[in-house]
Amino acid sequence: MKKFDTVLFDFDGTVMNTNEVILRSWQHTFQTIENREEDEAKIIATFGEPLDVTMGKFFPDMPRDEAVEIYRSYHRDNFGDLITVFPGMKELLAEVKIRGYKTGLVTSRLLHTTQQGLEKYELKDYFDVVVTAEDTEKHKPDPEPVNIALEKLHSLPGNSIMLGDTMFDILCAKNAGVTSVLVGWSLALKSGDDFGEDTPDHVIKTAAELLELL
């Protein structure tokens, strides 16, 4: 089995269950702009994509900054109350650190709410580096976010593994030459889906299963 020394994690939908706050923020945005709710499946299909990009697809005729602020204002006001850590994830992070692996968080989320989530659940010390949307010019599925994390950790792609819940995460890892792992609690992807050439290297059903791959 490949020898890993670095473990990278996505934030939304992987470490932190932010599904409810994201869905509610989008529905608030649709209600405010178009006085309607959107089909949840269409929203879920955008999970992992940078907010600004998705906003342009959903509301092409709306000034981007205005639409983003409608979303973010609701998101900021409700974020802390609507997020939880996925079962077993905090224990996994603790064990990974105990075993001496280098760790990184790679997210398309902004730094403020990322830190808010990490601090609320006392997860901050489990990550050696945190790469957010504000640290990159290109975003997932481009490899830049992962490449930045690896550079900061002085790690090689071949010795690194990344967990994620969306195709943006899987492709970001693959494009960077990092072993990709799909988490089984993903809303966006299911282990039985036909991924074609983009099939994740591994799929885990529980957080603890990662330890078997390491």
CATH 3.40.50.1000 positions along the chain are 6-17+83-213
- Class assignment of domain 19-81? mainly alpha
pLDDT above 80 for 139: yes
Inter-CA distances, 74 with 21, 22, 202, Å: 9, 10, 35
The mean pLDDT value for 169-174 works out to 97
- Which of 10, 12, 165, 169 is the catalytic position? 10
pLDDT above 90 for 59: yes
pLDDT in tens, 24-54: 999 999 999 999 999 999 999 999 888 989 9
CATH code at 6-17+83-213: 3.40.50.1000
pLDDT band at 69 (very low <50, low <70, confident <90, very high): very high
Beta bridge partners of 162: 8, 180
* Residue 182: HSE in the Cβ half-sphere, 13 Å Cα cutoff: 22
The mean pLDDT value for 57-64 works out to 94
For the chain, the average pLDDT equals 94
The mean pLDDT value for 68-76 works out to 95
* Greater model confidence, 193 or 198: 198
pLDDT in tens, 97-138: 999 999 999 999 999 999 999 999 999 999 999 999 999 999
pLDDT in the model for residue 1: 61
3-state secondary structure of 178: coil
pLDDT above 80 for 75: yes
**Rounded to an integer, what distance in angstroms lies between the CA atom of residue 27 and that of residue 24?**
5
CATH 1.10.150 positions along the chain are 19-81
Residue of 20, 17, 37, 34 whose CA lies nearest to 75: 20
pLDDT above 80 for 94: yes
Give yes or no: 169 in active site. no
pLDDT band at 188 (very low <50, low <70, confident <90, very high): confident
pLDDT in the model for residue 30: 98
pLDDT band at 170 (very low <50, low <70, confident <90, very high): very high
